[in-house]
Chain A
Amino acid sequence: MIADLGFFALVIAFGVSIYAAVAAWYGNRVDEPRWVESGRNAVILVFPLVALSAGTIIMSLLNNDFSIEYVWRVSSIDMPTYLKVTSLWGGQAGSLLFWNLLLALFAAVVMMRKWRVDREFMPYVIIVISMTQVFFLGISAFIENPFTRMTVIPPDGNGLNPLLRHPGMIIHPPMLYLGFVGFVIPYSFAMAALLTNKLDDRWIRTTRRWTLVAWLFLSLGLILGGRWAYDVLGWGGYWAWDPVENASLMPWLAGTAFLHSVMIQEKRNMFKMWNMFLIVMTYCLVILGTFVVRSGVISSVHSFAQSAIGPFFFAFIVIMFLFSAYWMTKRREDLATENQINSFLSREAAFLYNNFLIMAILAVVFLFTYYPIFSELFTGEKGFVGAPVYEQATAPLFAALLLLMGVAPLTMWYKTSAKRLEMSLLWPAVATTVIVGVIFALGIRYWAALLGMWIVIFSLILTLIEFWKGTRARMKRGENVLTAYGHLLSRNRRRYGGYWIHIGVLVMAFGIIGTEVFQQQTQLNLQNGESLTMGNYEMVFNGVERFPGPDDLLITEADVDVFYNGRFVKNLNPRTELYTRTGQPMTIPAARSTISEDFYVLLVNWEPTSSTEATFRVYVNPLINWVWAGGLIFVIGTLIAAWPDPRKEKVAEAKRERMALGVGD
């Protein structure tokens, strides 16, 4: 009953989106603003309709209405209420609807906020957003319909995939989707700029915050995904170069390149074509990412065949790409630029190096991720590229990027003299070498780690010096350190927020070097009362217990005491969980966490466990918490950079208005 309402709402939303595109197109063609406004209202209307549709699914989930196939598939009677709600994005059909909901929300907000200034962009923005919406609503309503009925009503459902029951997995997909959806907005403005032939940097300025917010959510999604893997998947790591992970990393990389390269256009009016290309690529990777995440086309041999949405997605990507490419070619003269880079040592050149490195990483990740498809094409056999190969190929590129991160802010627009640059690099380099020398003296001999640490510390020092210079300049006006620093941040949030992001990345990199290079692990079978020694740690096994958990869960939990240098530090309960209905096992680690390292224990369930004996896999993960701390700094930095400043907002708006009137500046 209620589900029928949801389905109708979805179909109406689909129709309304088509109307929005047509009305905006027609209104623009006959120069009748009322039609365009009608199109805008239609875009806004899509949101409540999709919300209603999603609401009915949630209602059906809460009411255990197993006459709906989707509810039967992802939910069950004994699941807790919050999980029933979040089951909305626990399966393919539901997450596509959820995607639609978020897109509709973003689109509605854009329509309500950006109307005044960028009036002549709006018809095209409406058309591009609505085209995307028509596609996704069409998929949701007619191909992956979450409202499909069961012929026989089962008494109970399958229940949510146990892997998705972790809080991290509940927040992770919405973050990722918000990031994906967010990039649709800058793309649509880019297309509007192309179609209206207003190719100055106005579209970039207008969508700067959207881009940053989208990027923030994507970053959050990636970081939370890593944390989830570390806490739940039980393999001692946080990033596995899994195709699904890569699918969200790739738009992030393209978006990162875009965020950097637009600064050249804003400052020097160069690289217009390249920026267009980057945002088009980001958009295509977002759609491809959504598809890969949903269908598992790369990870499993047959999922593409099984998933009816595959060909549609690919066709849509091709259409949107060709559409963008056609207009970029048509406008190539207006996208061309007369300005040039004057020196290898200039800010714009530095951004170019940054773009080159990020593109190289993107190319590597793309080719490796789609390697199974390519190799099947040429060899008939589905090949596979594992994590070690990714690490080998991308590590030098990432290292170069980290070095650039520290040096680039020292360069100037137009030209920096080599001598000056040398002067500002010399003492930090000396200091870094001293610090790395100390690390060497402490007994670390692995050259790659030392090199990595050198780069990270060097860049960190350079970034901190940048902060110090700015603060000192303000302090000369009689402010104390904190006030001076606060003012510095608020005066140029974008730059100093950006530096904080850099610091976050560097801290993360430090942690990653630690865990990648110095991780120790061992696996042993212990009898009751026996102990295991690893480094400074000793772990005593007290026993193992097996008991039923909620739902169909069978929990096997071990009890171990951890000693550090002979001193008791923590009691840990690593466990394995078995969902008896599906036979799916999970290994939940337990860890003793400190700032320097984690002592991470897994109860390995691939050996028979009895009450007196169990096999443990133990990891010491040095510096792992730096990764999470770096992630936090990163997010705070992005917030600083994206935080609205009402005063500047007005100035910027006035500037955009002037640009819109063709006054220029």
Chain B
Amino acid sequence: MKEERNLILEAYFVVRKRQPTTHYPLRTMSSRFIVLSLFLTMFASLLVLPAAAQDVETEEPVLREVSDDEVNEVAKDLYCPVCENTPLDVCPTKACADWRELIRTKLAAGETKQDVFDYFVLQYGDSALARPPKTGINFVLWLLPFIAVALGLVFFARYMKGLRQDDPETVTSASGVQDVSPEPAPDDYSARVEQELKGK
């Protein structure tokens, strides 16, 4: 733990010192490459499951250069611990900028997205995550909306089923008076509209 922290720190300062050059030098970067990396990010976020995406990341022993897009990709699923309800990737405050630098450092040191998440949970608690962890009582709370929806469905189905059973009775006894022609005439719509227009 301690060594790890030291390492991170060193990495942090190293990267910070050379910060202006940590970004891809643009002239060497063809537009095709940008488009490609963009597509990769898009595909990673759209098609590949987040869990699978983590496996793609390879451990790199030496510091690699981490682009802003990679940092944002991680930061967008984190929330700023001090300001209210602001995802970390778009938060304009100084503290958030420092947190993003920290993410960059960690990614540069070869940590995965999940490692960064774990670090943030350790430091600032579960509320730093955009998706609360599904563990313990949290899981029950997390399930509540689904339970609520499911319960609603059950009631709903029961209610409709009851009606279904009553159906023949209603049609014969009650609707004899008034619920006439439940089966409308073929071109009833135009007829209805016309009737409505004449009638009123």
Contacts of A417 in B (CB 8 A): 183-184
Q: Is the CB of A522 within 8 A of B34?
A: yes
Contacts of B55 in A (CB 8 A): none
| Shortest Cβ distance from residue B145 to the other chain A in the assembled complex, whole angstroms | 4
Indicate whether A580 reaches chain B with its CB closer than 8 angstroms: no
Roughly how many angstroms separate A342 CA and B31 CA in the complex, as a whole number?
63
| Shortest Cβ distance from residue A489 to the other chain B in the assembled complex, whole angstroms | 13
Roughly how many angstroms separate A415 CA and B188 CA in the complex, as a whole number?
13
Interface string of A404-415 (1 = CB under 8 A from B): 000000001011
Roughly how many angstroms separate A385 CA and B96 CA in the complex, as a whole number?
19
* Residue in A243, A343, A375, A393 whose CB lies within 8 Å of B145: A393
Q: Is the CB of A386 within 8 A of B130?
A: yes
Indicate whether A431 reaches chain B with its CB closer than 8 angstroms: no
| Shortest Cβ distance from residue A30 to the other chain B in the assembled complex, whole angstroms | 42
**Contact stretch, chosen from A95-103, A219-227, A523-531:** A523-531
Q: Is the CB of A363 within 8 A of B148?
A: yes
Roughly how many angstroms separate A585 CA and B189 CA in the complex, as a whole number?
59
Within A340-390, the residues touching B (CB, 8 Å) are: 340-344, 349, 352, 356, 359-360, 363-364, 367-368, 371-372, 374-375, 378-379, 381-389
Roughly how many angstroms separate A607 CA and B19 CA in the complex, as a whole number?
10
Within B141-177, the residues touching A (CB, 8 Å) are: 141, 144-146, 148-149, 152-153, 156, 160, 163-164, 166-167, 170-171, 175
Indicate whether A576 reaches chain B with its CB closer than 8 angstroms: yes
Contacts of A521 in B (CB 8 A): 69, 72
Q: Is the CB of A384 within 8 A of B127?
A: yes
Contacts of A48 in B (CB 8 A): none
Q: Is the CB of A384 within 8 A of B190?
A: no
Q: Is the CB of A382 within 8 A of B125?
A: yes
Q: Is the CB of A474 within 8 A of B125?
A: no
**Number of residues on chain B facing chain A (CB within 8 A):** 69
Indicate whether A32 reaches chain B with its CB closer than 8 angstroms: no
**Number of residues on chain A facing chain B (CB within 8 A):** 83
Do A386 and B131 form a contact, CB below 8 Å, given A367-B144, A415-B182, A530-B26?
A: yes
| Shortest Cβ distance from residue A199 to the other chain B in the assembled complex, whole angstroms | 21
| Shortest Cβ distance from residue A41 to the other chain B in the assembled complex, whole angstroms | 38
Q: Is the CB of A524 within 8 A of B92?
A: no
Contacts of B35 in A (CB 8 A): 533-535
* Residue in A342, A379, A587, A613 whose CB lies within 8 Å of B163: A342
* Residue in A344, A383, A526 whose CB lies within 8 Å of B132: A383
Roughly how many angstroms separate A234 CA and B90 CA in the complex, as a whole number?
8
| Shortest Cβ distance from residue A382 to the other chain B in the assembled complex, whole angstroms | 5
Roughly how many angstroms separate A384 CA and B149 CA in the complex, as a whole number?
21
Indicate whether A446 reaches chain B with its CB closer than 8 angstroms: yes
Indicate whether B59 reaches chain A with its CB closer than 8 angstroms: no
| Shortest Cβ distance from residue B162 to the other chain A in the assembled complex, whole angstroms | 9
| Shortest Cβ distance from residue B75 to the other chain A in the assembled complex, whole angstroms | 10
Contacts of B144 in A (CB 8 A): 367
Q: Is the CB of A360 within 8 A of B152?
A: yes
Q: Is the CB of B136 within 8 A of A606?
A: no
| Shortest Cβ distance from residue A475 to the other chain B in the assembled complex, whole angstroms | 10
Do A344 and B160 form a contact, CB below 8 Å, given A236-B90, A474-B197, A532-B34?
A: yes
Contacts of B31 in A (CB 8 A): 533, 538
Contacts of B193 in A (CB 8 A): 469-470, 473-474
Contacts of B93 in A (CB 8 A): 585
Contacts of A469 in B (CB 8 A): 189-190, 193
Do A587 and B136 form a contact, CB below 8 Å, given A363-B145, A388-B77, A472-B190?
A: no
Indicate whether A306 reaches chain B with its CB closer than 8 angstroms: no
Do A587 and B84 form a contact, CB below 8 Å, given A356-B156, A414-B179?
A: no
Roughly how many angstroms separate A371 CA and B34 CA in the complex, as a whole number?
39
Contacts of B149 in A (CB 8 A): 360, 363-364, 397
| Shortest Cβ distance from residue A659 to the other chain B in the assembled complex, whole angstroms | 18
* Residue in A364, A414, A606, A613 whose CB lies within 8 Å of B96: A606
Roughly how many angstroms separate A586 CA and B90 CA in the complex, as a whole number?
11
Indicate whether A27 reaches chain B with its CB closer than 8 angstroms: no
Contacts of B194 in A (CB 8 A): 473, 476
Most buried by A among B167, B193, B194: B193
Q: Is the CB of A360 within 8 A of B92?
A: no
| Shortest Cβ distance from residue A305 to the other chain B in the assembled complex, whole angstroms | 16
Indicate whether A235 reaches chain B with its CB closer than 8 angstroms: yes
Interface string of A433-451 (1 = CB under 8 A from B): 0000000000000100000
Q: Is the CB of B84 within 8 A of A386?
A: no
Q: Is the CB of A342 within 8 A of B126?
A: no
Q: Is the CB of A587 within 8 A of B92?
A: yes
* Residue in A371, A412, A473, A534 whose CB lies within 8 Å of B141: A371
Q: Is the CB of A384 within 8 A of B136?
A: no
* Residue in B84, B87, B128 whose CB lies within 8 Å of A300: B84
Roughly how many angstroms separate A523 CA and B67 CA in the complex, as a whole number?
8
Q: Is the CB of A386 within 8 A of B129?
A: yes
Residue of B nearest to A360 (CB): B149
Residue of B nearest to A613 (CB): B20
| Shortest Cβ distance from residue B1 to the other chain A in the assembled complex, whole angstroms | 22
Contacts of B140 in A (CB 8 A): 378
| Shortest Cβ distance from residue A141 to the other chain B in the assembled complex, whole angstroms | 30
Indicate whether A520 reaches chain B with its CB closer than 8 angstroms: yes
Roughly how many angstroms separate A532 CA and B29 CA in the complex, as a whole number?
10
Indicate whether A242 reaches chain B with its CB closer than 8 angstroms: yes
Indicate whether A206 reaches chain B with its CB closer than 8 angstroms: no
Q: Is the CB of A299 within 8 A of B84?
A: yes
Indicate whether A605 reaches chain B with its CB closer than 8 angstroms: yes
Q: Is the CB of B137 within 8 A of A379?
A: yes
Interface string of B105-146 (1 = CB under 8 A from A): 000000000000000000001111111100011101100111
Within A493-536, the residues touching B (CB, 8 Å) are: 517, 520-527, 530-535
Indicate whether A296 reaches chain B with its CB closer than 8 angstroms: yes
Do A412 and B184 form a contact, CB below 8 Å, given A379-B136, A381-B127, A523-B69?
A: yes
Contacts of B179 in A (CB 8 A): 342, 414
Within B22-43, the residues touching A (CB, 8 Å) are: 23-24, 26-27, 31, 34-35, 38, 42
Roughly how many angstroms separate A372 CA and B129 CA in the complex, as a whole number?
12
Roughly how many angstroms separate A238 CA and B181 CA in the complex, as a whole number?
48
| Shortest Cβ distance from residue B41 to the other chain A in the assembled complex, whole angstroms | 8
Roughly how many angstroms separate A363 CA and B144 CA in the complex, as a whole number?
9
Roughly how many angstroms separate A412 CA and B184 CA in the complex, as a whole number?
9
Q: Is the CB of A367 within 8 A of B148?
A: yes
Indicate whether A248 reaches chain B with its CB closer than 8 angstroms: no
Most buried by B among A356, A383, A492: A383
Q: List 26 A-B contacts (CB under 8 A).
A: A299-B85, A342-B170, A352-B156, A360-B149, A364-B145, A371-B132, A371-B141, A378-B140, A378-B141, A381-B126, A382-B125, A384-B126, A384-B127, A386-B130, A387-B130, A393-B146, A420-B184, A473-B194, A474-B197, A476-B194, A492-B196, A530-B26, A532-B34, A576-B92, A606-B96, A617-B72
**Which residue numbers of B lie inside 8 Å of A, CB to CB?**
20, 23-24, 26-27, 31, 34-35, 38, 42, 46-47, 67-69, 72, 77, 79, 84-85, 87, 90, 92-94, 96-97, 100, 125-132, 136-138, 140-141, 144-146, 148-149, 152-153, 156, 160, 163-164, 166-167, 170-171, 175, 179, 182-184, 188-190, 193-194, 196-197, 200
* Across the A-B interface, the 4 shortest Cβ-Cβ residue pairs: A386-B130, A606-B97, A235-B90, A415-B182
Apart from the given pairs A341-B160, A384-B128, 20 other A-B contacts in the complex at a CB distance below 8 Å: A296-B84, A342-B179, A343-B167, A343-B182, A363-B149, A374-B141, A375-B138, A379-B138, A382-B127, A412-B188, A414-B179, A473-B189, A492-B196, A520-B42, A522-B34, A525-B23, A535-B35, A586-B92, A606-B94, A617-B68
